[in-house]
Structure 1
Amino acid sequence: MNDSLPTASAPSPSAETAGGLGGQSLALYFQSRLPDLPERVLEDVWRSIPDIARTSPHSPGRDDPPPIDRRLRAFVRNIADPGRSPEDRARMHRVLGRSAYLHGVGPALLQSAYQAGARFAWRRLAEAVRRSGATAGQLQCVTEAVLASAEELAGHALASYRELSEDTTDTLHANRRRLLRVILAERGTLDPGVLPRAAHAARWTVPRTIACVVLDRTWEAGERLSPALDPDVLSDLRHPEPRLILPEPDRPGRIDRLRRGLQGTRFAVGTRVSVAEATQSLRTAEQALSLLRQGTFPGADHVRCDEHLSTLLLLNDEHLARRLVEHRMAALEGLAPEPRRRLLETLLAWLSTGSQAQAAARLHLHPQTVRYRMRRLDELFGDQLHDPAWRFEMELAIRAHRLLPAPATANT
Structure 2
Amino acid sequence: MTEGPLAEPLSLTPEQVTALRGRLPRVGEKVVAAVIAEVPSYSVPFQGRMGRTIEGAVTLALSGFLDMAVNSAASGTSGTRERPQQVFDAAYALGRGEARSGRTMDALTAAYRIGTATAWREMSRTAVSHGLPAEGLVRFAELVFDYLDQISAVSVAGHADELARTGRLRERHLSELAVALLAGREKERLEQLAEQAEWNAPASLTAVLLPQSAARATRPLLDPRTLELAGDVEALDGWPDHAVLLVPGRSRAAVLRSLGEVPGVVGPTVPWTAASRSFHRALRALELGLAAESQALVDTETRLAELVVRADPSAHEDLRAQVLAPLADARPAAAEKLTETLRAWLLHQGRRDDIAEALFVHPQTVRYRMGQLREIFGDRLEDPSFVRDATIALS
TM-score (norm 2): 0.49
Larger helix share, 1 or 2: 2
- Larger CA Rg, structure 1 vs 2: 2
| TM-score, length of structure 1 as denominator length | 0.47
